[in-house]
Amino acid sequence: MVVQKVNMNKKILILSVFIVASCGLAYELIAGALSSYLLGDSILQFSTIIGCYLFAMGVGAHFSKFIKDEDVLSRFVDIELAVGLVGGLSAALLFLTFSWMTAPFRTLLYVLVFMIGSLVGMEVPLVMRALNARQTEFNELVSRVLTFDYLGALAVSLLFPLVLAPHLGLVRTGFLFGMLNVAVALWTIHTFRSELKNMGGRFLRASTVMCLLVFGFAMSDRMVYWGEHGLFGDEIVYSTTTPYQRLVITRWKDDLRLYINGNLQFSSRDEYRYHEALVHPAMQALPWARSVLIMGGGDGLALREVLRYPNITHVTLVDLDPAMTNAFTQRAELVKLNHGSFSDPRVRVINADAAIWLQDHPDMFDAAIIDFPDPSSFSLGKLYSVPFYGLVRKHIAVNGLMVVQSTSPFFAPHAYWTIDATLREVGLRTYPYHAYVPSFGEWGFVLASPQLNYQPPTQYRLPMRFLNADTTREMFLFPTDMQRLPMAPNRLNTQSLVNEFEQDWRQVIR
């Protein structure tokens, strides 16, 4: 009977390794994802967070040796409570801090990562010592503990991007894993109650922390609303976290605004300027065009402008995130803004990675409208690279045109002219231009063609709210403070564009 109880206790300790490993990696992924959403540059955020976290785990593992053998289980319970509390609250604290007090965000981020990493680093050594005290063979001890440690990491690494982040969100996921850590503590208290000191006090603390985390889990949506209200200021009419990004739509009076990962994508008050400038200089030059490819543009606003041309018989829109296209297909205020463009029978919507879709499909088009978010991360930077533009060129008619949203030639000149150089690198003729959009300031675009000798339109077949002969002529002229810079193309293996973009905007913020 005693032997059976000892074996059961061993199994419980080993199973706890699976849970605490899952929780530890979850906190790391939450910190990396949240900082990438809010700060951009996902490689930098994940790299520094992983480095800080692993270093902290080493520190925690080192200090675990100072815990006395007779206190191993008691301290394990205390550590689980601390990890559950700090890790469970971490996402909510970070999000609210960024929303209301941006300056200390980075400091708090790395303080929390270091605290969690140090505590997590103590967990496995303490479990191994507890098992060793129960006369477990060393080979079996190491094998079982590390096996369950790695299995726990595998489980959460799959669940996080596929289930947890898109369906629960980062804040609620943090509270969930905090509850799991506290559950391990309660489980340990119950199983080893005869060996623990001050069991009643620890049970009371564990119950209090669990209640706090359950309350936080239930209030997660409200916390996110408070945070986003502080970040955006206006009424939030729609928000969702997807596997790819955080989407938020706000409203102030008659002004609807779309934010992706905290960055403004459009204001309904002046988006017509941006989208007329994006679409019509190309479409006016192609009266013979029948088919158009739109990449990005999941809001349907560029699509709205393309569909105004009766000669267009087929439009394929490729946008990665179905949550984006669904919102602008189903929500009445958004459908009104894009004039119901997704319901037009000429439109085919494909939710896929644009680069992969181009590789897998041979379709040819007379024009391509490329309307991706700014290259603020390496996942976006690949869509502004030499290989990507080479793929697009293969799908464009010889005398066709493509136009690329290209950031600001005034605020981000190095990034802007890098995009122009990248298009020229794949053998395209480029025709850079810019337009003033009040929400963004001076904004840039680049037209490109395999062979067409493009001339800016002097008139438009359709009525415009912004464009005319004079504004179009001015768009293709660059003043002294926006002249061409000699930049290298953006190659996939280096992604210089992302660094150029970040440095340009850092100068603006200063």
Residues 201 and 289 in one domain: no
Rounded CA separation 380/457 (Å): 31
Residues 488 and 395 in one domain: yes
Residues 373 and 257 in one domain: no
Query: By CB neighbour count within 10 A (0-12 exposed, 13-18 middle, 19+ buried), where does 373 fall?
Result: middle
Rounded CA separation 83/332 (Å): 44
Residues 261 and 276 in one domain: no
Q: Apex CA 456: angle with CA 400 and CA 442, to 5°?
A: 105
- The pLDDT of residue 322: 92
CATH of the domain at 462: 3.40.50.150
Residues 192 and 296 in one domain: no
CATH of the domain at 119: 1.20.1250.20
Query: What SS3 class is residue 168?
Result: helix
- The pLDDT of residue 103: 60
- Assess whether 371 carries a catalytic annotation: yes
Query: 262: phi > 0 → left, psi -120 to 50 → alpha, else beta; which?
Result: left
pTM of the model: 0.75
Phi, psi of 128 (to 5 degrees): -65, -40
The secondary element (H helix, E strand) that includes residue 314 is strand 314-318
Residues 99 and 235 in one domain: no
Residues 435 and 327 in one domain: yes
Rounded CA separation 158/243 (Å): 12
Domain span at residue 426?
Answer: 270-509
Residues 66 and 34 in one domain: yes
Residues 201 and 329 in one domain: no
Q: Which residue spans within 192-252 are E strands per DSSP? A: 235-241, 246-252
Query: In the listed set 151, 186, 220, which residue is the last one of a domain according to the structure?
Result: 220
Q: Where are the alpha helices (DSSP H) in 40-137?
A: 42-63, 72-100, 105-132
Which member of 321, 371, 374, 420 is catalytic? 371
Residues 173 and 30 in one domain: yes
- The pLDDT of residue 101: 60
Residues 389 and 294 in one domain: yes
- The pLDDT of residue 3: 44
Residues 247 and 288 in one domain: no
Instruction: Walk along the chain (510 residues) and give the pLDDT tens digit of each residue.
Output: 444 444 556 666 677 778 888 888 899 988 888 887 777 666 778 888 999 999 999 999 999 888 887 788 888 889 989 999 999 999 888 888 876 665 688 888 999 999 999 998 888 888 777 766 555 565 665 677 778 778 888 888 888 887 887 778 888 899 999 999 999 888 888 887 777 777 788 889 999 999 999 999 998 888 877 766 666 667 788 888 777 777 888 888 889 999 887 788 889 999 999 999 999 999 999 999 999 999 999 999 999 999 999 999 999 999 999 999 999 999 999 999 999 999 999 999 999 999 999 999 999 999 999 999 998 888 888 999 999 999 999 999 999 999 999 999 999 999 999 999 999 999 999 999 999 999 999 999 999 999 989 999 999 999 999 999 999 999 999 999 999 999 999 998 888 898 899 888 877 755
Total structural domains within the chain = 3
DSSP 237-254: EEEEE-SS-EEEEEEETT
Query: What SS3 class is residue 218?
Result: helix
Buried b or exposed e, range 210-248, using 16+ CB within 10 angstroms: bebbbebbebbeebbebbbebbbebebebbbbeebbbbb
What's the farthest any 2 CA atoms get from each other in the chain? 93
